[in-house]
Homo-oligomer: A and B are copies of this chain.
């Protein structure tokens, strides 16, 4: 996987993007967004968050969104429908909703995790174990095993604690893998990272857990280095990337944090470099229209959408299509 040209990108705009936006994005428009990105070949979409609607009314329609997303995934073979779950209740709802993958988040920074979910990271691991137990129990009942993904937040720096020790990232990763996580993500939640730091952390992660670890990089473009950090991750062997269309996103608990890296620019970079995302760039860029019309007040980021592809640009995935 790490040496190959196939790259897995995951659209997180519907969750990480919308979670910091007050304007309710209408349910049918969320579904239109999912449908359009699925049609563009997006391999994974984090479609919602199973948080209490009182906390984040944006996700009050999580169940309906999943109910619509799953048939779309059936039409577009291989599309993974994932959702965030902050706790056991969220996991219950997520499993009941039938998503393929549930994402749990814990900050490596103790103070950030306490501020975010009022637990130490170790307590978050304990809470996760109950989620694993529930998942296993439900899998026995239904024969359908939901994949569990854990995002290690603030792994590259924290607005409260400043620098975060890479050893702490590795230790927490180990605990989650031992507890039953199927996949991990290293997240630069507040956009502190530089490319050297990204390379060094991912080298340690692969060195500790082996090249086969399904490891995602989740980056924010807070200080302008997001795409450069994605390049650094790619060069270290990372083949799984979170990003959001037009760079929507933020963190309600991280002051000054801005959006995720821009999916459209990321795919443009990867495809230009010969990496196959399977995503059709023109179709992807066209989806921005759905976001723009539902969030007229939001700034949509991204260079490719403004300037168009280079003259004569040939994305790597188009070779694959031609060869088939």
Distance in Å from the Cβ of A316 to the closest Cβ of chain B?
A: 10
- The distance in angstroms between the C-alpha atoms of A130 and B258, with both chains bound, is 51
Are the CB atoms of A307 and B269 closer together than 8 Å?
no
Are the CB atoms of A195 and B307 closer together than 8 Å?
no
Are the CB atoms of B272 and A196 closer together than 8 Å?
yes
A26 close to chain B: CB less than 8 A: no
Chain B residues, CB < 8 A from A256: 306-308
Which of A65-73, A132-140, A158-166 touches B?
A158-166
Residue of B nearest to A271 (CB): B194
A192 close to chain B: CB less than 8 A: yes
Are the CB atoms of B307 and A222 closer together than 8 Å?
yes
Are the CB atoms of A194 and B269 closer together than 8 Å?
yes
Q: A272-B196, A312-B162 are in contact. Are A303 and B221 (CB under 8 A)?
A: yes
Interface centre among A223, A231, A265, A269 (most CB of B within 10 A): A223
- The distance in angstroms between the C-alpha atoms of A202 and B230, with both chains bound, is 21
Distance in Å from the Cβ of A236 to the closest Cβ of chain B?
A: 12
- The distance in angstroms between the C-alpha atoms of A196 and B273, with both chains bound, is 6
User: CB-CB contacts of A238-280 with B at 8 A, as 1s and 0s?
Assistant: 0000000000000000001110001011001100111000000
Are the CB atoms of B224 and A268 closer together than 8 Å?
yes
- The distance in angstroms between the C-alpha atoms of A163 and B225, with both chains bound, is 26
Are the CB atoms of B162 and A195 closer together than 8 Å?
no
- The distance in angstroms between the C-alpha atoms of A262 and B195, with both chains bound, is 16
Chain B residues, CB < 8 A from A262: 224
Chain B residues, CB < 8 A from A311: 157-162, 192
Are the CB atoms of B303 and A222 closer together than 8 Å?
yes
A304 close to chain B: CB less than 8 A: yes
Chain B residues, CB < 8 A from A159: 311
**Cβ < 8 Å to B, chain A residues 195-217:** 195-197
- The distance in angstroms between the C-alpha atoms of A231 and B308, with both chains bound, is 23
A228 close to chain B: CB less than 8 A: yes
Are the CB atoms of B227 and A225 closer together than 8 Å?
yes
**Cβ < 8 Å to B, chain A residues 267-296:** 268-269, 272-274
A191 close to chain B: CB less than 8 A: yes
Contact of A304 among B223, B227, B303, B306 (CB under 8 A): B223
Residue of B nearest to A302 (CB): B224
Are the CB atoms of A310 and B192 closer together than 8 Å?
yes
Query: Could you list which residues of chain A lie within 8 angstroms of chain B, going by C-beta atoms?
Result: 157-163, 190-192, 194-197, 221-225, 227-228, 230-232, 235, 256-258, 262, 264-265, 268-269, 272-274, 302-304, 306-313
The 9 sampled A-B contact pairs (Cβ below 8 Å) are A160-B311, A162-B311, A163-B310, A224-B264, A224-B302, A225-B265, A228-B231, A231-B231, A256-B308
